[in-house]
Each structure stands twice: as structure tokens, then as C-alpha cells.
């Protein structure tokens, strides 16, 4: 990313995140907000279960709520991307939007505190808070992150290290959270106000931790900001010319679709297939090992390239998900396959900011203008659409197969649908991602474009 790197200069008060100044503290501070958001995702993945088993809504109705909610994201993501591109404050372009971590957690507590009212009231309540969380808070946080990284860290190698180590930190803490959550659900989930207590256990510390990046990591400025100050329409035209950001967005959508389907149905799987929701914590324990594989990313970047790293992950996920279908009640198979599929399916999303910055640089080399917020917003929209489709499709498929909300025993058709959603569906999506990955050759294209410019 030499073009952008040459254009970036440190402000006098900025922290030393330029080449050669990356420290352990910078890595921890940078990933603090990522940890907070990741924990919020772990909790929000249980909103379908909460809505059906606690609030008492049907799975199909819950799926409809989430799908309709996502209609707002298509609008807000592009608007937010444009707002970020237009932002120019003393704190920087992306850094001010880190403060959305506070309302994010407040709204999550309210979401899991649905009052006792009629069905229509419950639908409206969940819809409003779920939409505010995703269409506003999450949109600003996720869309600004890549822009923030690109302006805070200049060197590709340092970016790879931050994302690799950050992936370990985020996944480790997420795995611990995923282990604790089923136990909290068992202890408090059925009690009055129990889910409010569960949400507060996460919200209080994560609100504080989520602010550390904002406090300690400062942006750098880019020369000739006016050259990159494009209007909304022009920004969209420049985005359309960037084929790689669309390919990446599709991959991110499918990755989030796969991982969320597994997460959503995992709760149902261990309750109704395995007969013990508490066993789900074993999957979380195994997940503690997965993040360490992401430490290999900087090495893989030099040896097989970033795409080769992701290709291995998708292949492993496809294989183990097929095995899981045939050995559906073998706990050891479930634990090991969950570990490998989790690492494999998230191999692109854990380092997606690395790829987004490559796409941004490709767009700048191709058009002569640097647009940062809108490309990042598009990929953010893709991950939320993937999550929404997962929630909606899981609900529809389970309902169509005979699933009965709040029932202690489910019919065979519902049990089979849970098995398919937990195994063969993500396996199929992994194969599709492998095919699409063949067209995402942005790494090689950038090298060729830079070589042509030096000739």
C-alpha cells in the first residue's frame, strides 16, 4: 500500500504506530474495541433463542423481524460511509465514531429486557432496539474501523501483525465468553429479569474496555485531503469501478452467514440433539485453541499469500462440516469439527480489514482518488446481511420443518433441520466461497499495477 503510505503523515500528538514502533501495548489498545464488539456479537447471536424461548415469539416471526430490520442497513451503511468520507475533525476522520460503543451496549441491555406486553408490542420493541443496534451503532463502529486502521498503521507487515494477534485476542476472549454464556443461561435465563442480568454482566466491563482504542490510539492525516473529498454520487461511481470490493463483500456475507447459522443453531443442537445445553461450553473451551492459528498469518503472508491462507481455512471448514453430519451425536467429533470450522470460516473475516485496505488501494490506483468510508461500509453491510439471512433462514427452515417454540421435545423433521443447518449448510457455503475466492486476485493485481507504474 505504498501509495497511501507515502501520503500519510503523523500528527504531532499521534501515537507511534508507524513502521518500527509497534509495541505490545499498541496491539492491545488497538484490539480493545474489537474485543468489545466481538462480545456483543456473541450475546446478540442468542437473540433468536431469547425471542422464541423467553419472549415467546415464533421462530418464523423472529426471522421476519430481523430480515425487515436489515432493510434499513442498506440505507444507513452507505450514508455512514459517506459521512465518514466527509468527516474531518481534530480527532481525525474515523476515531470520533469509536464513541458509539457506549450506546451499543446500552441498547443491548434494553433489547434483552423486553417488557411483558402483547405480541405486537414485543415485536415493535425488539425490532426498534435491534435496528438501532445494527443500523446505527454497529454501522458506525464497523464502517470506521478500516479507515482508522489505514490511518493509524502505515506498514503492511504491522497491519498483518495487529490483525493476527488481534484475531487471537478477540477469538480467545470470545471463546471464553461463549463458554460462560450457556452457564449463565442455565442459571439465570429462566428467572424474571435473568437476561437483563446476563446482558449487564457483559455490558459494564465491555463498555469500558471498548473505549481504550479511542483514548490511546490517534490517527494520522493524509496529504491532499481535498483531492479525496468526493461527493456521494461520485463516491458511488468510484465504488462501482472497484470490482474487488464487491467480490470481498460477497465472501464476507457468506462467511458471516455460515458462522451465524452455526452459532444460532448450536444452542438448539445441544439442547435437542445432544440433550444437554451445558455441553456447548466444551465447544467454547476448544475454541480457545483456534485463535493461535491466526498467529501464522504474517508468515503465511510471506509464504503463500493472504488468499492461500484463507483458501486453506475454507477447505478445512467444508471437510469437517460434512464429517459432523454423519457423526452427529459424537461429542468428540462435534468439539473438534467446531474448532476447525470456526477457524476456517472466520479466516477471511478476522483479517478482512487487511483485504479492505487492499481494495481501497486498488481503487485509488485505478481512479486516482482515494475513497475509504464507502468501501468499508459496503463490507460492513455485507456482514450484517449475512447475519440477518442466517437469523431469518434458520427461523423459517426450523418452523417449516415443524419446530415448536418453548416445547421440550421437537418432531423428527425439526431435529433434522437443526442437523442440516449445523453441518451440511455451512459445508456447502464453504465450497461456494472457495469457488468465488478464485476471482479475488487483488494481491496479484496490485503487484502488477505497482510494477507498471515503476517502469
| pLDDT at residue number 3 | 41
| pLDDT at residue number 253 | 94
Burial class (CB in 10 A: 0-12, 13-18, 19+), 193: exposed
Given a contact cutoff of 8 angstroms between Cβ atoms, the answer to whether 220 and 372 are in contact is: no
Which residue in 235, 248, 150, 203 sits closest to 42, CA to CA?
203
Show the domains of the chain with their CATH numbers. 23-454 (1.20.1250.20)
pLDDT digit of tens for each residue in the chain (455 aa)? Answer: 444 344 334 343 344 454 556 788 888 888 899 899 999 988 998 898 899 888 988 877 887 887 788 777 767 877 888 888 888 888 888 999 999 999 999 999 999 999 989 999 999 999 999 999 988 998 899 888 888 988 888 777 787 788 778 777 887 788 788 788 888 988 898 788 899 999 999 999 999 999 999 999 888 765 555 445 666 677 778 888 899 999 999 999 999 999 989 988 888 899 899 888 878 877 766 666 666 666 677 777 778 878 888 999 999 999 999 999 999 989 889 988 988 888 888 888 877 888 988 898 898 888 888 787 788 778 878 887 887 788 778 878 888 899 887 788 889 999 999 999 999 999 999 999 999 999 999 888 988 888 877 65
| pLDDT at residue number 247 | 95
33-53 residues labelled b (16+ CB within 10 A) or e (exposed): bbbbbbbbbbbbbbbbbbbbb
| pLDDT at residue number 11 | 40
The dihedrals phi and psi of 426, each to the nearest 5 degrees, come to -65, -30
| pLDDT at residue number 222 | 59
Give the C-alpha separation, 322 to 422, whole Å: 10
Given a contact cutoff of 8 angstroms between Cβ atoms, the answer to whether 357 and 159 are in contact is: yes
Amino acid at each position: 500500500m505504498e501509495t497511501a503510505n507515502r501520503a500519510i503523515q503523523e500528527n504531532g500528538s499521534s501515537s507511534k504506530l508507524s513502521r518500527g514502533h509497534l509495541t505490545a501495548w499498541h496491539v492491545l489498545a488497538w484490539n480493545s474495541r474489537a474485543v468489545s464488539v466481538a462480545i456483543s456479537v456473541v450475546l446478540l447471536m442468542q437473540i433468536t433463542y431469547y425471542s422464541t424461548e423467553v419472549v415467546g415469539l415464533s421462530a418464523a416471526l423472529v426471522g421476519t423481524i430481523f430480515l425487515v430490520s436489515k432493510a434499513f442497513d442498506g440505507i444507513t451503511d452507505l450514508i455512514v460511509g459517506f459521512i465518514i468520507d466527509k468527516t474531518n475533525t481534530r480527532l481525525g476522520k474515523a476515531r470520533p465514531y469509536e464513541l458509539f460503543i457506549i450506546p451499543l451496549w446500552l441498547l443491548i441491555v434494553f433489547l434483552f429486557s423486553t417488557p411483558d406486553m402483547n405480541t405486537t408490542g414485543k415485536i415493535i420493541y425488539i425490532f426498534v432496539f435491534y435496528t438501532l443496534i445494527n443500523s446505527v451503532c454497529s454501522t458506525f463502529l464497523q464502517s470506521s474501523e478500516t479507515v482508522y486502521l489505514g490511518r493509524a498503521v502505515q506498514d503492511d507487515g504491522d497491519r498483518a501483525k495487529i490483525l493476527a494477534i488481534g484475531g487471537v485476542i478477540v477469538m480467545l476472549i470470545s471463546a471464553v465468553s461463549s463458554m460462560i454464556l450457556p452457564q449463565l443461561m442455565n442459571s439465570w435465563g429462566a428467572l424474571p429479569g435473568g437476561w437483563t442480568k446476563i446482558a449487564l454482566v457483559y455490558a459494564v466491563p465491555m463498555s469500558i474496555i471498548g473505549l481504550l482504542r479511542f483514548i490511546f490510539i490517534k490517527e494520522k492525516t493524509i496529504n491532499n485531503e481535498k483531492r479525496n473529498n468526493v461527493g456521494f454520487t461520485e463516491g458511488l461511481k468510484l465504488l462501482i469501478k472497484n470490482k474487488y470490493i464487491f467480490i470481498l463483500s460477497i465472501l464476507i456475507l457468506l462467511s458471516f452467514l455460515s458462522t451465524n447459522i452455526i452459532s444460532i443453531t448450536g444452542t438448539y443442537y445441544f439442547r435437542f440433539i445432544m440433550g444437554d445445553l451445558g455441553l456447548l461450553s466444551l465447544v467454547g473451551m476448544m475454541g480457545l485453541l483456534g485463535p493461535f492459528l491466526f498467529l501464522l498469518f504474517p508468515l503465511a503472508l510471506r509464504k503463500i499469500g493472504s488468499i492461500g491462507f484463507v483458501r486453506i481455512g475454507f477447505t478445512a471448514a467444508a471437510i469437517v462440516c460434512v464429517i459432523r453430519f454423519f457423526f452427529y451425536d459424537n461429542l468428540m467429533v462435534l468439539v473438534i469439527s467446531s474448532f476447525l470450522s470456526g477457524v476456517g470460516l472466520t479466516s477471511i473475516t478476522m483479517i478482512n480489514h487487511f483485504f479492505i485496505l487492499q481494495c481501497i488501494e486498488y481503487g485509488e490506483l485505478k481512479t486516482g482518488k482515494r475513497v475509504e468510508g464507502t468501501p468499508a461500509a459496503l463490507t460492513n453491510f455485507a456482514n450484517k446481511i449475512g447475519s440477518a439471512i442466517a437469523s431469518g433462514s434458520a427461523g423459517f427452515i426450523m418452523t417449516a420443518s415443524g419446530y415448536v417454540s418453548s416445547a421440550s421435545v421437537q418432531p423428527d423433521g425439526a431435529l433434522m433441520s437443526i442437523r442440516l443447518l449445523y453441518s451440511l449448510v455451512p459445508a456447502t457455503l464453504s465450497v461456494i466461497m472457495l469457488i468465488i475466492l478464485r476471482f479475488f486476485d487483488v494481491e496479484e493485481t496490485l503487484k502488477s499495477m505497482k510494477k507498471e507504474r515503476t517502469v
